[in-house]
Amino acid sequence: MKVLMITTGSRGDVQPFIALAKALEKHGHSTILAASASSQPLSREHGLSIHPLDDGIMNIITERKAPPFENNILAKARASVRLIQYYSRQVSQVLEGIENAAEPGIDAVVYRADTPGGFDIAEWLGIRPIQVCICPTRVPTRSFPDPLFPYRIPKRFNRLSYTLSHMTSSRILFEILNRRAVSKWRRKRLSFPRRPFHGSHSSRTAGTRITTLQALSSCIMPPPRDYPPWVHATGFWVAGVPSSWQPSEELLDFLANGEDAPIYIGFGSMVGTDPEGTTRAILKAIGTLNIRAILTVGWGGIRRTEQTDNRILFVDDVPLEWLFPRVRLAAHHGGVGTVSAALRAGIPQVVMPFIEDQFFYARRLHDLGVAPDPLPQHALTPQKLAKVVREALEDNSIFMHAERLRRHVQAEEGADGAVRIIESIIN
């Protein structure tokens, strides 16, 4: 079986597909991974090659074209207009890359639900599409509201929230832009008519029920009873630590020295509007708590500074699956990859969300008892950060819940379960 996998985005969007590719190949299947060009170093670390897709959409983050993560409504509106204009120019290049990756002999197309063109290239190839969700926003249910819906509502309106959350002005514009680019591509390149519009939920894209794989743990969101049979929760897809990776002597020495294990602080691909100010706040909080900390620079959300304080170590990139069992707390942005690694390590978490699904994960981790109340990044101060970190380190119940969820998450099938489902569909 040959599987074409398609995803765009940051590390957290690509790494689950690397895990799936490794699992498919372990079971004797061949894979083609079409992913953001910037993820090539990550894929090579895991012994995989990718078909690179245009990185223009990712430049929204790296060049700070995204709306500011703050409460300035006017600034957000202006940035949103610029973002939409830029985004519309990039989608067609991603679609062209997807078309080039679609070589003969493919048996299945597995694509991240928010990546345009996945369903359409499967239709063009005449094979079954399978979409992947790393946040349960695509299939309406009465059990819980859309995780991206920003307001608390009575339970009887849970299912309605999936429609309402896609009716915000920015989402409608993105939907229109995606449809326009995809329809033009279908007509000119695939010789297909415009795709009918059946609402925002791609579980019903073009009127067809699409097998949906939820690549997240059932402890985050237990599968609802009213989910249809074509939706499957598999557990997190974990790529593991690359066999070629080795920790630096500096990192090993830092971990070995000191009376207590350090904490971890990092924001992954999130940048924010004031990385320097954020870094100062973090350093001041660490000083207040008098603890040791490993700070990951990531894509620039934390800035490396000259340090004489031996309690602090800046690092560029460390596999979290390796690092988290060696720290006593993870303070992060709430990206799904970081959440997964922290849950698998069984450590307390402090979540400082920047955008959308990160707020969902922050709330869920608090509800599950493994994290204090979320601290939104725009509200971060040294005092607030010190308070929530101290709470997470001193509350024994948080450690107990973290250990309970560690056992739950590690018992799930994850990517191997996804392979089993894909095999059953194709065969």
For residues 126 and 146, state if they share a domain: yes
Question: 233: Cβ–Cβ under 8 A, 6 or more apart, which residues?
Answer: 214, 216, 217, 218, 221, 223
Q: What tokens appear for 239 in the block?
A: 């790529």
Segment 77-127, tens digit of pLDDT: 666 666 666 666 688 889 999 999 998 899 999 999 988 899 999 999 999
Q: Which residues lie closer than 8 Å to 371 by C-beta, 6 or more apart?
A: 348, 349, 350, 351, 362, 365, 392, 398
* Residues 230 and 259 placed together within one structural domain of the fold: no
Instruction: For residue 124, tell me if it sits in a domain.
Output: yes
- 319 within some domain: yes
In terms of domains, do 154 and 285 share one? no
Q: Does residue 351 sit in the same domain as residue 422?
A: no
Is residue 232 domain-resident?
Answer: yes
Cβ atoms of residues 93 and 54 within 8 Å: yes
Q: Are residues 188 and 268 in the same domain?
A: no
Strand order through the sheet with 349-351 = 312-315, 293-296, 263-266, 330-332, 349-351
Domain-located, residue 241: no
Q: Which domain holds residue 300?
A: 249-410
Q: Write down the pLDDT at residue 375.
A: 97
Assess contact for 62 and 106: CB atoms under 8 A: no
Q: What is the pLDDT of residue 389?
A: 98
Q: Is residue 86 part of a domain?
A: yes
Q: With respect to residue 288, please indicate whether it lies within any of the assigned structural domains.
A: yes
Q: Is 296 helix (H, G, I), strand (E, B) or coil?
A: strand
- Please indicate, yes or no, if residue 202 is contained in any of the structural domains: yes
Question: Which pLDDT belongs to residue 77?
Answer: 64
Rounded Cα distance between 44 and 372, Å, is: 37
CATH code, domain carrying 123: 3.40.50.2000
pLDDT at residue 170, as a whole number: 60
Yes or no: say if 195 and 183 are a contact pair by the CB < 8 Å rule: yes
- For the chain, residues with pLDDT lower than 70 are 56-89, 168-174, 195-208
> 240: left (phi > 0), else alpha (psi -120 to 50), else beta?
left
Q: Decide if 244 is inside a domain.
A: no
d(CA 172, CA 103): 33
Whether residues 280 and 419 share a domain: the answer is no
**Do both 391 and 417 map to the same domain?**
no
Instruction: Provide the terminal-to-terminal Cα distance of the chain, rounded to the nearest Å.
Output: 9
Do 121 and 260 lie in one domain? The reply is no
Q: CA of 184: how far to CAs of 15, 126, 173, 300, in Å?
A: 30, 19, 17, 36
- The answer on 225 and 292 residing in a single domain is no
In the prediction, which pLDDT does 203 show? 43
| Residues 321 and 209 occupy one common structural domain | no
d(CA 186, CA 389): 51
Question: Are residues 311 and 403 part of one domain?
Answer: yes
Same domain flag for 322 and 396? yes
Residue from 365, 329, 335 nearest 347 by CA: 329
Number of domains in the chain: 2
